[in-house]
Amino acid sequence: MARLFAAISSCMATFAWELISTNKTGKVWSLTSWLDQADPNKGNFELKMDPKKSNGVFLMRGTEILWMSGPWNGYGFAFLPEMLSPYIFNYFNYSMYSDENETYFSYSLYNSSVITRFIIDVTGHMRELLWFEESQQWMSIWSEPRQFCEVLNSCGPFSSCSEDTTSCRCLRGFYPSGKQQGQDGGCMRRVALTCGNGDNRDGFFMMNDVRYPVSSTQQINSSYNFPSGPQVSNSDAKACGEACLSNCTCSAYAYNTSGLCLRWYGDILGLEQLSAEDPNGRTIFIKLAASKFDNGRGDREDPSQDILLFDMEMSITTSSSNFLGSENPRKQKRKDAPFPLFSFDSISLATDDFSSENKLGEGGFGPVYKGKLLNGKEIAVKRLSKRSGQGLEELKNETMLIAKLQHRNLVRLLGCCLEQGEKILIYEFMPNKSLDLFLFGSDIEGLLDWGTRVRIIEGIAQGLLYLHQYSRLRIIHRDLKASNILLDNEMNPKISDFGLARMFGDAKLQANTNRIVGTYGYMSPEYAMEGLFSIKSDVFSFGVLLLEIISGKKSTGFYHCSSLNLVGHAWELWKGDRVVELMDPKLKDQIPCRMQQRYVNVALLCVQEMAADRPTMSEVVAMLTNELTVLNSPKKPAFSNARNMTNSSNQPANFSVNNVTVSLMEPR
Quickly list DSSP for 239-305: HHHHHHHT-TTEEEEEE-TTSEEEEEESS---EEEPPTT-TT-EEEEEEE-GGGGTTSS---S-GGG
- List the domain boundaries for the chain: 2-144, 149-331, 344-428, 435-654
Helices 593-606, 566-575: inter-axial angle, 10-degree rounding: 130
> Does residue 353 have an active-site annotation?
no
pLDDT for residue 627 is more than 70:
yes
pLDDT for residue 224 is more than 50:
no
DSSP state of 113: T
Query: How confident is the prediction for the chain on average, in pLDDT?
Result: 73
Q: Count Cβ atoms below 10 Å from residue 258 Cβ, excluding itself.
A: 6
CA angle 495/500/505 to nearest 5° reads: 90
CA distance linking residue 56 with residue 70, whole number of Å: 5
Of 405 and 626, more confident? 626
Of 375 and 553, more confident? 553
Mean pLDDT of 307-334: 32
* Dihedral pair phi/psi, residue 33, rounded to 5°: -80, 165
Residue 341: per-residue pLDDT? 77
Least confident of 106-120, 227-241, 592-606, 649-663: 649-663
Least confident of 244-248, 292-296, 415-419, 599-603: 292-296
Of 490 and 392, more confident? 490
pLDDT for residue 652 is more than 70:
no
Residue 462: per-residue pLDDT? 95
CA angle 384/386/391 to nearest 5° reads: 65
Check 436, 479, 538, 584 and give the catalytic one: 479
Q: What is the topology classification, in CATH, of domain 344-428? A: Phosphorylase Kinase; domain 1 (3.30.200)
User: In Å, what is the CA distance from 574 to each residue of 109, 567, 630?
Assistant: 70, 10, 17
Residue 518: per-residue pLDDT? 67
CATH superfamily of the domain spanning 435-654:
Transferase(Phosphotransferase) domain 1 (1.10.510.10)
pTM > 0.85: no
Which residues of 331-487 form beta strands (DSSP E)? 359-363, 366-372, 378-383, 413-417, 424-428, 474-476, 485-487
pLDDT digits (tens, 9 = 90+) for 549-594: 999 998 876 555 555 689 989 999 999 999 999 999 888 778 888 8
Residue 536: per-residue pLDDT? 94
Name the band, by pLDDT with cuts 50, 70 and 90, for residue 131.
Answer: confident
Residue 68: per-residue pLDDT? 78
Judge whether 147 and 135 are in contact, CB under 8 Å: no
Radius of gyration of the CA atoms of the chain, in A = 29
CATH topology match: 344-428 vs 435-654: no
Strands 307-308 and 225-227: unpaired
CA distance linking residue 502 with residue 474, whole number of Å: 8
